Amino acid sequence: MKISSLDAAPATLPQANEPCWCGSGRKYKRCHKKSEGRVLQGHVSPMRSVPDHIARPPYADTGEYEPWDEGRVKSPEIIERMRHAGKVAGEVLALAGAMVAPGVTTEEIDIAVHEAFIERNAYPSTINYHGYPKACCTSVNEVICHGIPDSRKLQDGDICNIDVTGWVGGVHGDTNATFFVGDVDPESRQLVRVTEEATWRGIEAVKVGRPLSDIGRAIEDAVKPYRYGVVRAFVGHGIGEQFHTDIQVLHYYDSRSTTIMREGMTFTIEPMITLGSVNYKIWDDNWTAVTSDGKRTAQFEHTILVTADGADVLTGGPGTASPSAPWAR
């Protein structure tokens, strides 16, 4: 039996060998006790439709994605379209982040994201991408990434990552940030702060003629003093007319990451940093990735353009969630 959220638990929990409160018939120690304090999957509502007047990416109707050989260096015309898509994604993320509070469901945040993209004549890129059912990803506490918005209410003390991508003008803009829910403990606050700083250290490492491994080295160096883990299974990616292109941006140093950065390249930098293990498990929804030890993780992301003198953050600018977020002041 799957319980929608921790809200369903009684005020007084049973003893270890007593029947579990959820009605499963199993002992508490073999049922919900082992998940105590962790995020539990809520009810996921059906996929919402996008109005016909909104232009749609190729996979929108079928859920099937067929990659093609897209150039790594973008034309000035595509870059300008990506600049607009990035601005739209940043605005939507800021709107979603402002909703984060105890008692708000991630489903409510998703609905707001869905409507905000449509108001801006953009298609929420994640909808039906390989069958994904929602307009954004909401990853709470130990969820590393790809959390599906559902009926679970955010709890005081949670941390919540919101990841949004919009397709407008034939290109994608992709960004995410981690937000505090109410009164968050010092350990989690530090994790979030260091993760954001590490993201910007990675962005600062973007330079024409240098290998992508410089980005991973900068991120790893930023978190090393705190003994945090850097998730290796999920990486940054090329982006443009396709949601994901063949560029891979590792968030840890690997000498084999030898792709040379060239002016006009576009990709994301999105480190996932953990308090404990970097190993992961996937829920039975085939999307939600959680830390194997249940410890918390944070993430930030921006879409980057390589320029002659460094990096242009296409999802940055006034009103976006980072770097002007409250916890960065």
Q: What is the pLDDT of residues 140-184, one digit of tens each?
A: 999 999 999 999 999 999 999 999 999 999 999 999 999 999 999
Q: Is residue 34 within 8 Å of 20, Cβ to Cβ?
A: no
Q: Is the pLDDT of residue 326 over 90?
A: no
Beta-carbon count within 10 A of 227 CB: 8
Strands 229-230 and 272-274: antiparallel
* CA torsion, ordered 53, 59, 62, 63, to nearest 10 deg: -120
pLDDT band at 22 (very low <50, low <70, confident <90, very high): low
Its pTM stands at 0.88
Domain that holds residue 7: 1-36
Q: Tell me the mean pLDDT in the region 18-24.
A: 72
Q: What is the pLDDT of residue 36?
A: 56
Q: Is residue 53 part of a domain?
A: no
What percentage of the chain has pLDDT greater than the value 70?
88
Q: Is the pLDDT of residue 310 over 50?
A: yes
Summarised one tens digit per residue, pLDDT across range 180-233 is 999 999 999 999 999 999 999 999 999 999 999 999 999 999 999 999 999 999
Residues 155 and 304 reside in one and the same domain: yes
- Nearest 5°: the CA angle 262, 273, 189 is 120
pLDDT band at 27 (very low <50, low <70, confident <90, very high): confident
Q: Is the pLDDT of residue 16 over 80?
A: no
Phi, psi angles (nearest 5°) of residue 168: -150, 140
Radius of gyration of the chain (CA): 20
Residues 94 and 27 reside in one and the same domain: no
Q: Is residue 52 part of a domain?
A: no
Residues 314 and 230 reside in one and the same domain: yes
The pLDDT mean for the chain works out to 90
Residues 175 and 307 reside in one and the same domain: yes
Smallest CA-to-CA distance from 261 within 243, 282, 247, 281 is with 247
pLDDT band at 292 (very low <50, low <70, confident <90, very high): very high
Residues 5 and 145 reside in one and the same domain: no
Q: Is residue 236 part of a domain?
A: yes
Judged by phi (left if over 0) then psi (alpha if -120 to 50, else beta), residue 328 lies in alpha
Query: Tell me, what CATH number does 156's domain have?
Result: 3.90.230.10
* Domains held by the chain: number: 2
Residues 225 and 140 reside in one and the same domain: yes
Residues 320 and 173 reside in one and the same domain: yes
What percentage of the chain has pLDDT greater than the value 90?
84
Q: Is residue 213 part of a domain?
A: yes
Residues 146 and 21 reside in one and the same domain: no
DSSP-assigned letter for residue 29: G
Residues 165 and 296 reside in one and the same domain: yes
Q: Is residue 231 within 8 Å of 249, Cβ to Cβ?
A: no
Q: Is residue 62 part of a domain?
A: no
Q: Is residue 14 part of a domain?
A: yes
Residues 30 and 133 reside in one and the same domain: no
List Cβ neighbours of 13 (8 Å cut-off, separation of 6 or more): 21, 28, 33, 36
Q: What is the pLDDT of residue 239?
A: 98
Residues 129 and 277 reside in one and the same domain: yes
Residues 89 and 153 reside in one and the same domain: yes
Q: Is residue 60 part of a domain?
A: no
Residues 241, 71: Cα–Cα separation, whole Å: 10
Q: Is residue 154 part of a domain?
A: yes
Summarised one tens digit per residue, pLDDT across range 36-76 is 568 999 999 999 999 999 999 999 999 999 999 999 999 99
